[in-house]
Amino acid sequence: MYRRTHAASHFGKKVVIDGLKFDSMKEASFYQLYLKPSGYQFTTQERFTLLETFPLELVKLRQTVYKSDFVVYDKVGSIKHVYDVKNGYTEYAIDQKSKIKFSLFARKYGIPVEVVVMRKNYFNVAILGTTKKVKPVPMVNINYDWQDIIR
C-alpha cells in the first residue's frame, strides 16, 4: 500500500468551539489562547482569490484560492495578521503548494501569511519565502506587527 508522506496527507480532527469550526485542535487552541482574549476582530477560513479564472483557447484554467486559518483586523478594519496554523516548519508539515500560495498572497495583498506553530505556553511564528532568512520567533500574544518578526 502506498503511503503519502507530505503535508496534505495529515489532516487534523475537526473541532467546534463557540460556534466556530476549526480544522484541527491546534487551530482551536490558537483561537482560545490568543485570538479570543485579544479583543481584535477576526475571521476564520476567509477565502482570498490569488489568480482569477483564465481562458486558455478551448478550456478555462481554474482560479487559485487561498483559505486562511485566521485573519485579524486592526481597529480601523485593515488586515493586521493572516495566520496559518501548522504542525512544524518542515516540508512534511508545509507542502510546496502552500508555500507558493503564501508567496502569491503576499504579492497580491501586500501582507505576508504568518505561519504559526503552537507550543505549550507560547507560539512560534515565521514568514516563509523571503529572501532574508527569517527564524521562527516565539510570541505570547498577537499584539505585534508582522514586521517585528523580521527585525
How far apart (Å, rounded) are the C-alpha atoms in residues 81 and 41? 11
End-to-end alpha-carbon separation of the chain, Å? 47
The more confidently predicted of residues 39 and 1 is 39
- What would the pLDDT profile of 3-26 be if each residue is shown by its tens digit? 444 444 456 789 999 999 999 999
Contact 137, 149 (CB under 8 A): yes
Q: What is the pLDDT of residue 10?
A: 52
Q: Which three cell numbers stand for residue 44?
A: 476564520
What percent of the chain shows pLDDT beyond 90? 85
Task: Report pLDDT for 38.
Answer: 97
pLDDT at 15: 94
Residue 94 pLDDT greater than 90, yes or no: yes
Task: Give pLDDT, residue 1.
Answer: 43
CA distances to 15, 62, 105, 129 from 99, rounded to whole Å, are 25, 19, 10, 7
**Helix (DSSP H) and strand (DSSP E) numbers for the chain:** 3, 12
pLDDT at 52: 97
Task: Specify the range with the lowest mean pLDDT, choosing from 8-22, 38-52, 79-93, 114-128.
Answer: 8-22
Q: Which band of pLDDT confidence, cut at 50, 70 and 90, is reported for residue 112?
A: very high
Give mean pLDDT, residues 28-32: 98
Model pTM?
0.89
Cα 87 to the center of its chain, rounded Å: 12
Assigned CATH class of 7-150 = alpha beta
Q: What is the mean predicted confidence (pLDDT) over 94-103?
A: 96
